[in-house]
Every structure is written in C-alpha cells, then in structure tokens.
Amino acid sequence: MFYHFALLAPLLIRQATAVGTAFGYATGTTGGGSATAATPTSNAQLVSWLGDSTARVIVLTTMFDFTGTATSAAGCEPWTCSPNPQLAIDKDDWCENYEPSATKTTITYNSGGMAPITVGSNKTLLGKGSSAGITGTGLYLSGVENVIIQNIRITNINPEFVWGGDAIGIDGGQYIWIDHNYIDHIGRQFIATGYGAVTHTTISNNVFNGQSTYSATCNGCQYWVLILTGDGDQITLALNYFYYTSGRGPHVGGTSGYTQKIHIYNNYYVTVLGHAIDPEVGANVLAEGNYFNVVTTPVLAGVGAAYVPTTSAQASACSSYIGRACQVNAFLNSGTVSAASTSALQALDDSYVLGASVMAASAVGAYVQANAGLGIVN
C-alpha cells in the first residue's frame, strides 16, 4: 500500500494514517482515525498533542530528545556479576525492601526517563521512515482507549539503571495497537502493563533489541523486556523480533487473584541467554508457531498455565479447545519445553484466537527479519 505525503502547510500532512489494520485482540483499533495529520515542531507541542483530549494523527519525522538534566539520587548495587551490571535507583525504597544487603551508592541519571509522556485516547503516533521517534523518555497510557503507536524508535532511557524508566507503560486501557516499532537501550521494561486491565491490545512486528553494555545478568542482554500483569490483560503478541535478551519475554501474571489471556505467536527469539516466556500465577498463555533460535530456556516452569506445543499431537489437540489446530513451535540450539496446560487453552477459547492467521514456525525467521521494525510500513 502506498501513502502519498504532500505538504499542505508547515505542520500538516495529507493522507498520513496508521498503515495496515489492527489484528488480534486489537481488532477495531483506529487511533486518531481520519483526523488531519500534523507534525510537531517542538517537544512541548508533541507532549501537548499526545496528552490532550482531541483525536489526532501525529507524524514524527525526526528524533525528539527528552533526555533532561543530570539528577543525583540514592541507589544500590544489587548485582555483583561482571562485566557491567546495572545499578538500581532507589525508587520507592526498592533497595531497602528488596535488596537490603546491596551496597549503597549515589547514582546520577537523566531526569527525562522518570517523566514519561502521557498519551490520551484517540491518538495515532506514527513515524516517517526509519529515523523518527523519542529518545530519553517513554510513553505512558492510563485508562485510555483507541491508541496506535507505529513505526517509531524509543531509545536511551537510562540504560545503566533499573528503575530508570520504561519505553511504554500501560495501566488500564483498551484498543491499543503497538506495531512496527524499534525499542532499545532501556533501563527498565521495554513494555509494562500495570495492575489495571489492558484489553483488546496487540503488540506486533516490533524489534526488541536487548544488546546493551549494561545488564542485570552481566551478559550484554536486556533482562527487562515485557511484563504483563494487569487484572484481565488480553493481549496478542505476534510477529516480533526478540534479540539479545535474557528474561521476561514476556513475564505474565504474578499477582494472586488476577488473570491474563496472552496469545503469543510467530515471534522470532534469537540469542536469548536466559529465559523467554515466564508464566506466573494467573497467567493463561498460548504460544504457537514461534521460533526459538539459541534460547537457553524458552519457557520457564512457572505456576501459571501455558500451552506451548512441541509436537504435532499437541498441536492437533488444540482443536478440542479453540476450534482449530495450533502451530508447533520450532527450536534450534535451545532448551527443552514442557508446557501443555489445557486450562490455558480453555481460557483462550475466543474468536480472536480461533481466527488468528498463524504461519508455520519454519517461515517465521525470514518473515520477521524482513518485516519487523522501522521503515517497513511508512
């Protein structure tokens, strides 16, 4: 599909809109819809447009720098591995509560990472080309609906420090499509949901590049990737490229009494020197048609419910629960998997999962490498 971007006025762009159609649980998401597209010319204008109550299509053509000023605060050294362990900002007394024996220190970080940009409802945030996005801070969505974030890079949010900031945080919301983005060099989570339900949401075609000088696991791989913990989260995670990570790909659940429904398919996991999928209490996860290429532990043996078919018999068994056969996952130089909880299938028995177009895992590597990330759709 070809979109013509003709200049109408200094800030107005004709026919700019999110490219493609939201699928999976985010089906029906339209973002800013037919609002006239415009490009902000300052950080202040971008913040204002994203946070107001007006339906908008916001087109970025360059990187917006929100690094902020150097700020000193108390911190600690929770990991003693080598080389280059992350340090932790003592946010909400985290060091005292969770790492009381860690050596205390003073940390100097960039203030922008702790002040994410608020995103309101009915917004499309769309990057042009492969060099548009935000550096130094992330995006925060709370109780919103109808938001599309597409083709932008989010980077350089205090990568040395845990609690230095998330790339995208969502605490309650629905009809959210996070598509074709590139996220790297983040101190905390690439994407995190809070305790509020995040429903009708799809995370697709993104590159999660975990290569970093600093790491909680001291192996050059980002540990804090995705954490999905909302009470009632309903999320499709499809066609993403996870590269050089070491954990939380995603972490699902963890709070007693909360439940999540997560459909994970056709993702390409490469050089995960730790674990990928982590189903904890309350989690209901169906992972099918994914390709795990050099992944130490593809699925942690958590207490959550996960169905991750590794044989044709397990794939066929899906028919009795979701109305179609699943796709077998593929593994190359990766750990073994034993996750066949049919209660996860029972929880994911809905039209979104039934109607998903899931390709064979053998096709995933080539497809994702050619189609995920920036500059593909716009």
DSSP class of 245: B
How far apart, in Å, are the Cα atoms of 104 and each of 22, 100, 224? 46, 9, 22
Q: How far apart are CA 165 and CA 142, in angstroms?
A: 16
Among 77, 338, 121, 120, which Cα is nearest to 218's?
A: 77
Contact between 86 and 162 under an 8 Å Cβ cutoff? The reply is yes
Catalytic residue among 56, 153, 248, 324: 248
Task: Give the whole-angstrom CA distance, residue 325 versus residue 342.
Answer: 13
C-alpha–C-alpha distance, residues 184 and 246, integer Å:
14
Closest Cα to residue 263, out of 289, 242, 283, 235? 235
Annotation says 248 is catalytic = yes
Spatial neighbors of 44 by CB under 8 A, at least 6 apart, are none
Q: Which residues contact 294 (CB under 8 A, 6 or more apart)?
A: 270, 271, 272, 332, 333, 334
The DSSP result for 63-132, as a single string, is EEE----EEEEEEEE----SS-BPEEE-GGGHHHHH-TTSEEEEEEEEGGGGSPEEE-SSEEEEE-TTS-
**What is the residue whose two structure tokens read 């499509």?**
177
Q: Looking at the annotation, which residues are catalytic? A: 248
